[in-house]
Structure 1
């Protein structure tokens, strides 16, 4: 029986009910986190908590809980060995629908669930991802991890229709990020380029470790926006996210990246990340 968390209780998924007047439903007035689980352990939980609390603060949602404790109990209660824990916090329930949010003191809605998924043995790691680019038409606070994901969902389905794996979004000719991942390239001179942290992208938790592993390997790292043309001319490209970890990109808009196979440096970064996950407490929750 799948157990979920809702407002202080751990209940079967069929017993979890949320009001139709919840602002998360009516206005996407909510934030969320997705934490990967490997070997039955939460990965990078502290960083996820830090980002969650920042998102809550940016939206002035007053919510406090033992976020790590909730996630750990869900892993245990569901016997999860590999997959993810999804955690969402909305501003709470309104008496009636109104754009203006309720007065301070309204109780937030907090729910979470565990979900099984293969993270390490993902076939994409062997063949690499094929990407297309599309204009980034999301709202301009992409640094806040809100549940406003309609445009990302539309782009995911556009990728499906095009027969590729995902979309990288662009402002003009500059890549911002993927639909649910940070985007990176490695130049022919061995420089890893990743978009700087600003309001255009989400500050990815896995991105932090990916850049750290690259630096440990001796790669130079530049945090700046890169163009579509730079990406097409790169030696390698890859994405980072909590559910895909480090994943190579081998094609952008039909253009082959490098020799069209997952890059060696990307593979080394991925393996170093996975080894760190298995071995030490530094990125485990």
Structure 2
């Protein structure tokens, strides 16, 4: 069981994988990506991730792309790696062409990269029991955060700054003083018995685990509403938590050193954690996947 890459359909060790210097993903960040959690050799929320990938490709005006072929390659890579518990990273670039800002005309073949690697959840599982510290940073990202592109330097700088302070994540604050999201997770909070989150739009990524959280909240009878809050309003929340592909449901204990609620996982966060575990267990018991169901996925 080891990391394994698949570049344009060819399996290889990641250290052997290369892309040409004229690849537009390398030169311009002209590429989109997705990350799925692998449980028992299967991709969790894979259909949701593929829908978002399809949307990202469309928003960036990529030429038609065969997602059914991509899914087949993902599962071939997973099987060849023997990874049962891990992560799969998928990146699609606009392809290789002489460096110019305009799109290649005629279009060229996209570059497709798949990386499968094992993932040990032990450290994250421990943090879910205690909660994590986060800090706030200015949101300096571009204005289309709803597209999952590899243009992540704003996220990277904020996250690195947070790590230097010993924080788990950085919560981003826009120019108007409103909370948007975290650098690689969705931020949600609890006020008056309801879960709240920043309204979906260009300012935040469409989070697959956030969408799952909304469904789980409805299932267990917890209201979920969209709301914009300032940092002082966030600090006054009863609870806060992060959700993401590998993060799952992670309680936030402190923001900028100030306790959220009691400074430990709250009751609604705990209910969502249990609902997440139950949903995952039911999915694993069902044993079906996008690959076996073969839902239509090609982009046109």
Q: Answer with 63-72 or 42-51: which moved more.
A: 63-72
Relative to the length of structure 2, the TM-score reads 0.90
Matches within 5 A, 1:1-285: 2-62=3-63, 63-65=65-67, 66-94=69-97, 96-119=98-121, 122-171=125-174, 172-187=176-191, 189-280=192-283, 281=286, 285=290
- Distance in 2, matches of 1:18 and 1:78, equals 21
Q: RMSD over aligned Cα, in angstroms? A: 1.7
Question: Which stretches in structure 1 are left out of the alignment for 5+ residues?
Answer: none
The CA deviation at 1:79 is 1.2
Question: Which stretches in structure 2 are left out of the alignment for 5+ residues?
Answer: 291-300
- Distance in 2, matches of 1:213 and 1:274, equals 11
The CA deviation at 1:283 is 9.3
- Give the paired residue count: 283
Relative to the length of structure 1, the TM-score reads 0.94
1:21-57 deviation per Cα after TM superposition (whole angstroms, max 9, x unaligned): 1000000000000011112221010010000010001
Q: Answer with 83-92 or 225-234: which moved more.
A: 225-234
The CA deviation at 1:220 is 1.3
The change in CA–CA distance for 1:274 and 1:73 in structure 2 (over 3 A counts) is farther
8 Å contact 1:38–1:83 — kept in the other structure? yes
> Secondary structure at 1:226's aligned position in 2?
coil
The CA deviation at 1:9 is 1.7
The CA deviation at 1:119 is 3.4
